Chain A
Amino acid sequence: MRLVEAVPAFLLIVLSALVLFGTADLVYWAGITPGPRFFPIWIAGVGIALSAALLVQLRRGTDSGTTDLPERGAFARVALTTAGMAAFVLAMPLIGVVPAVLVFMMFILLVVLGQRAMPSAAASAIVAGAIEIVFVRSLKIALPPIPFL
């Protein structure tokens, strides 16, 4: 068993512990009825039991799951894309949705995916235009606007 394969089990144990401690101030049983802590306790118990079952399966080699971690290049693309999305979310209220879309699209296409400039610019413009037409013009949703316009 590689330690990395056990990550889901450890993570669920941590979350189960969080549920147990996070609901410690609630009552399990109130009079004749289960209280607000009743369900969380059982869910946390099931979480711990399932994690233990996965750990046993991994140790015995009977687990049918396969951990498929990406190679360095693929991981870099995913990490950069995630960072790009976080930057996009931060930028939306600051520079407006449409400029943020253009910048994000160009970043992903040029930097992350290594595409040529002209098709990337065209694709970015199409997506930014579509967002403006669908969300702002058609659905009248108040997306963060471009400042000073």
Chain B
Amino acid sequence: MSTIELLTQGFTTVFTFKSLAFIFLGVVIGQIIGALPGIGPSAGMALLLPLTFGLDPATAIMMLAGIMYGGQYGGTLTSVLINVPGEASGVMTAVDGHQMAKAGRAGAALSIAAIGSFLAGVGAVAAVAFITPALSAFALRFNAPEYFLLAVLGITAAASLGGSPVRALMAATLGLMIALVGADPVTGAPRLTFDQPALFEGIDFIPVAIGVFGLAEVLSSLERAHDMKPIRTRLKDMWLTAAEWAESRIAILRGGLIGLIVGIMPGAGASVASMLAYVTERRFSRRPERFGKGAIDGVAAAEAANNASAHGATIPMLALGIPGSASTAVLLAALVLHGVRPGPMLMQQEAVLVWGLIASMFVGNVVLLVINLPLAPLCASLLRVPYVFLAPGILVLSLVGAYAATLDMGTVWMCLVFGVLGWLMIKFDIPRPPLVLALVLAQLLETSIRQSLLLSFGSLSIFVERPIAAFLLVLVAGSILLPVIGALRRRFGGI
């Protein structure tokens, strides 16, 4: 069947009352979560993951994906109106968006962000529809060595793009250590269980994700006062002038393309995409001096990039079973928890789910455009609810949600422990996404390296003899060496 026919089938999955209702619910929750400072889409998805257990896998994944990209739209509100990005990818939007708001053009900033996000989002979903099947078909040539190196690349690439690669790799190592607890995936021998029956099945993904992302964020946000005074905006301010549109349209195209490419790369996320798009736009601009002072094309590029990146990150997740970002790691974990096996066979074995998800992203983007254009002033009014009243509610929802997932108080205690761990990670500047990425990839990493060494009778040459594996090995080496070379160049003054 052609891509168009499969996509049409996807739309038939989506156009039922139940699917549409949960897509709507997902994007609205994503919009709200994105607007809450400190609670990003990954945290929101982790918090709501247990609530999806009563749903069929396709509906659950469509809803969770809605939170993922809805969060990108929602983050714009806080970035523009109060200069506090809802999540890291909104930082570049805040730079010019808030300057526009202070100059009385908050409506225009929100409009171009919504339009840019929508156009780039729809373009990226179209790319997902065409690239994912091709990549998935190519990945059928992969065997254990390639999977091992892909999983390693997912972790090292994430580490190389952060602030400190050593700290990021430490987080990933911690994630792998957490995954070691429980039965050995090959022989079933108990490992690091210390004779505790509760640990025989290992440490669940849900308490780790809820704790490390959700509870930790709220604990961290309670340290400081949240005195947010949003700039007001009205519906009539939302219209763009012809000059503003002319300035923004190419920025949306460039930002969308950059976002898509960055999103497909393992480890790079929406933050990297928006920053790269903003810097590129400033370089191409005929008046770069406006950037930082309220340049609408800066807002357009950053928003187009972060939304395209969120969608693009689903390509390696769907085609290879390798998450490209923290959000897609949660989405992948959701697939596994719903009994769906990710990997290159997913497109064939779960065609209804995959094409339903892709079609749902088209529909979700339309819903988000409506929410963010005519309803933007209404959404902005949500920011007037004091955060101090929301924070304890989020904690309660997290703990009750963790209990609801397993009906076991042990999960709730685990959640609390990982919440404190996540807070300590924030304090010590240890990035949390690599921990979750590593936790999701741990089983694939271990089983694939053991299978590889079994195939080669213990010889490491299997990783260089196979052409695709050798290519991936070069990428892994590059992702480790690039930050080292960068640090050396900085240290020795550009040698």
**B-contacting residues of A (Cβ < 8 Å)?**
5, 7-9, 12, 15-16, 18-19, 22-23, 26, 29-30, 32-36, 38-40, 43-44, 46-47, 50-51, 53-54, 57, 62-70, 74-75, 77-78, 81-82, 85-86, 88-89, 92-93, 97, 101, 104-105, 108-109, 112-113, 115, 119-120, 123, 126-127, 130-131, 134-135, 139-143
CA distance A30 to B404 in the complex (A): 41
B5 CB → nearest A CB, Å: 36
With A108-B395, A115-B388 in contact, do A36 and B427 touch (Cβ < 8 Å)?
A: no
Q: Which residues of B contact A108 (CB under 8 A)?
A: 391-392, 395
- Residues of B350-408 whose CB lies within 8 A of A: 388-389, 391-393, 395-397, 399-400, 403-404, 407
Interface centre among A16, A47, A126 (most CB of B within 10 A): A47
State whether the Cβ of B428 lies closer than 8 Å to any Cβ in chain A: yes
Given A8, A86, A113, A141, which contacts B416 in the complex, CB threshold below 8 Å? A86
Chain B residue nearest to A80 in the complex (CB):
B222
Residue from B219, B397, B400, B404 whose CB has the most chain A CB atoms within 10 Å: B400
B224 beta carbon closer than 8 Å to chain A: yes
> Across the interface, do B392 and A105 meet the contact criterion of CB distance under 8 Å?
yes
Option from A12, A30, A39, A104 in Cβ contact (under 8 Å) with B446: A39
Of listed B170, B180, B392, B445, residue having the most chain A CB within 10 A: B392
Most buried by A among B170, B224, B426: B170
B430: contacting residue among A8, A30, A131, A141, CB under 8 A: A8
Inter-chain contacts of B163 with A (CB < 8 A): 64-65
Does B140 make an interface contact (CB < 8 A)?
Answer: no
Q: A36-B187, A50-B166, A105-B396 are in contact. Are A85 and B177 (CB under 8 A)?
A: no
Q: Which residue of chain B has the shortest Cβ distance to A76 in the bound complex?
A: B223
Cα–Cα distance between A92 and B393 once the two chains are bound (Å): 15
Q: Which of B293-301, B303-311, B451-459 contacts A (4 or more CB under 8 A)?
A: B451-459
Which residues on A sit within 8 Å (CB–CB) of B336? none
New A-B pairs, 8, CB < 8 Å, besides A57-B166, A63-B164, A105-B393 = A19-B192, A36-B187, A36-B191, A39-B445, A47-B177, A63-B166, A92-B403, A119-B389
Which residues 220-257 of B have a CB within 8 angstroms of A?
Answer: 220, 222-224
Which residues of B lie under 8 Å from residue A33 when comparing CB positions? 186, 450, 453-454
Contacts of A140 in B (CB 8 A): 54
* Neighbouring A residues of B51 by C-beta, 8 Å: 134, 139
**Interchain CB contact under 8 A, B180 and A40:** yes
Interchain nearest-CB distance for A124 vs B (Å): 8
* Contact call B453/A135, Cβ cutoff below 8 A: no
What are 7 sample pairs from A and B whose C-beta atoms fall under 8 A apart?
A18-B192, A22-B192, A101-B396, A104-B392, A109-B392, A135-B404, A143-B404
Interface size on B, residues (CB 8 A): 61
Choose among B419, B420, B454 the residue that contacts A34 (Cβ–Cβ < 8 A).
B454
A89 and B399 within 8 A (CB): yes
Residues of B within 8 A of A50 (CB): 166, 169-170, 173
| Given A43-B176, A131-B397, residue A8 in contact with residue B428 (CB < 8 A) | yes
A15 to B388, Cβ gap below 8 A?
no
How distant is the Cα of A126 from the Cα of B426 in the complex, in angstroms? 30
Question: Is B184 in the interface zone, CB < 8 Å from A?
Answer: yes
Residue of B nearest to A38 (CB): B450
Q: Which residue of A lies closest to B387 (CB)?
A: A113
The answer to the question of B4 belonging to the interface, with a C-beta cut-off of 8 Å to chain A, is: no
CB-CB < 8 A to A44: which residues of B? 177
- Contact call B184/A36, Cβ cutoff below 8 A: yes
A43 CA / B174 CA spacing, docked (Å): 9
Contact (Cβ within 8 A) A81 B429: no
* B37–chain A nearest beta-carbon distance, Å: 16
Q: Which 5 A-B pairs have the closest CB atoms?
A: A74-B223, A36-B184, A65-B429, A108-B392, A127-B393
- Asked whether B482 is an interface residue with its Cβ less than 8 Å from the other chain, the reply is no
